[in-house]
């Protein structure tokens, strides 16, 4: 159905624009530590790998800065993005699966600075839960739902073996999780929440296909459809 309601709803920002704005924000944050105080749309575009037009359009989805004609003020633009995309709120996250990758993530210490608090780790192996030395509380996997609910955890990184992935995802969902970063090669069935997949093998395959197709493309002529 059409959007019948035109109260004061901001017009919808394309999902892909949100991704770019996230990237942009990250870049602006780093930039703000240097001495550059202003930046143009084309410089931002060069940096995050898109066009100046797209950068300006994306910013305009947020309502634009109020400074037409002048280059963007770095801190001001960062603040605008943070506000509109709700990056201001701190969010709680957990890690499920404490194997090599999972524990590496658990010990990664930059989340706090970026607005994310790792408040729980889970593993089905009680041994790991008891022996891993960390200040982040660890729990056995059967407590996922309970803890996610209790601590109002919004984000999870899933690093379990592929066969446990769907089951853990379901526990997370029952706990009310809002987003999962899926490090397993499992293809999660969850149409309720947002999932971001970062399977290296999958990335390898996609990258291979991309450069392979490029190569075929630049070589010109495609033969008929038969094969």
Partner DNA sequence: CTTTGTGAAGCTCTTCACAGCT
Partner DNA sequence: AGCTGTGAAGAGCTTCACAAAG
Q: Which is nearer to DNA, 41 or 103 (CB)?
A: 41
Q: Are 95 and 106 in contact (CB under 8 A)?
A: yes
Q: Assess 82 for contact with DNA (CB under 7 A).
A: no
Stretch that binds its own copies, among 70-78, 124-132, 142-150, 210-218 (CB under 8 A): 210-218
14: which DSSP letter? Answer: P
Q: Assess 2 for contact with DNA (CB under 7 A).
A: yes
Helices (H), the chain: 15-31, 41-48, 52-61, 74-84, 100-107, 126-131, 144-151, 162-174, 200-218
Q: Are 80 and 18 in contact (CB under 8 A)?
A: no
Stretch that binds DNA, among 54-62, 114-122, 153-161, 182-190 (CB under 7 A): 54-62
Q: Assess 79 for contact with DNA (CB under 7 A).
A: no
Residue 65 binds: one of DNA, its own copies, none (C-beta under 5 to 8 A by kind): DNA
Residue 139 binds: one of its own copies, DNA, none (C-beta under 5 to 8 A by kind): none
Pairing between strand 138-140 and 91-96?
unpaired
Q: Assess 205 for contact with its own copies (CB under 8 A).
A: yes
- Binders of its own copies among residues 118 to 177 (CB under 8 A) are 154-155, 157
Q: Which is nearer to DNA, 24 or 156 (CB)?
A: 24
Residue 17 binds: one of its own copies, DNA, none (C-beta under 5 to 8 A by kind): DNA
Q: Are 172 and 96 in contact (CB under 8 A)?
A: yes
Distances (CA, A) of 171 to 155, 165, 176, 198: 13, 10, 9, 20
Interhelix angle 41-48/52-61, rounded to 10 degrees, is 100
What is the per-residue binding string for its own copies in 70-89, x denoting contact by CB under 8 A?
Answer: -------------xxxxx-x
Q: Which is nearer to DNA, 29 or 62 (CB)?
A: 62
Q: Assess 48 for contact with DNA (CB under 7 A).
A: no
Closest CB 48 distance from DNA, rounded Å? 12
Q: Assess 109 for contact with its own copies (CB under 8 A).
A: no
Q: Which is nearer to its own copies, 64 or 142 (CB)?
A: 64
Work out whether the CA dihedral 149, 15, 182, 170 comes out positive or negative: positive
Q: Are 129 and 123 in contact (CB under 8 A)?
A: yes
Structure tokens at 146: 């309970």
Q: Assess 161 for contact with DNA (CB under 7 A).
A: no
CA dist., res. 180 & res. 156, Å (int): 5
Binding residues for DNA (CB under 7 A): 2, 12, 14-17, 40-42, 50-54, 56-57, 59-60, 63-72, 225
């Amino acid at each position: 159905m059409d959007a019948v309601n035109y109260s004061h709803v901001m017009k919808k920002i394309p999902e892909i624009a949100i991704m770019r704005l996230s990237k942009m924000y990250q870049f602006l944050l780093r930039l703000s530590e240097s001495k550059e105080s202003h930046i143009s749309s084309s410089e931002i575009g060069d940096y995050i790998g898109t066009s100046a037009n797209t950068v300006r359009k994306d910013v305009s989805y947020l309502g634009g800065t109020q400074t037409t004609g002048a280059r963007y003020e770095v801190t001001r633009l960062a603040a605008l993005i943070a506000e509109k995309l709700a990056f201001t709120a701190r969010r709680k996250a957990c890690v499920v699966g404490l194997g090599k990758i999972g524990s590496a993530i658990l010990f990664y210490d930059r989340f706090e600075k970026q607005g994310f608090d790792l408040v729980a780790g889970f593993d089905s192996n009680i041994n790991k839960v008891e022996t891993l030395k960390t200040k982040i509380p660890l729990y056995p996997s059967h407590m996922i739902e309970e803890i996610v609910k209790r601590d109002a955890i919004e984000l999870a990184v899933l690093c379990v073996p592929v066969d446990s992935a769907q089951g853990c995802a379901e526990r997370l969902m029952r706990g009310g999780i809002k987003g999962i970063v899926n490090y397993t090669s499992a293809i999660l069935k969850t149409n309720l929440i947002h999932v971001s997949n970062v399977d290296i093998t999958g990335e390898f395959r996609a990258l291979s296909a991309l450069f392979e197709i490029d190569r075929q493309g630049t070589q010109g002529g495609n033969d008929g459809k038969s094969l």
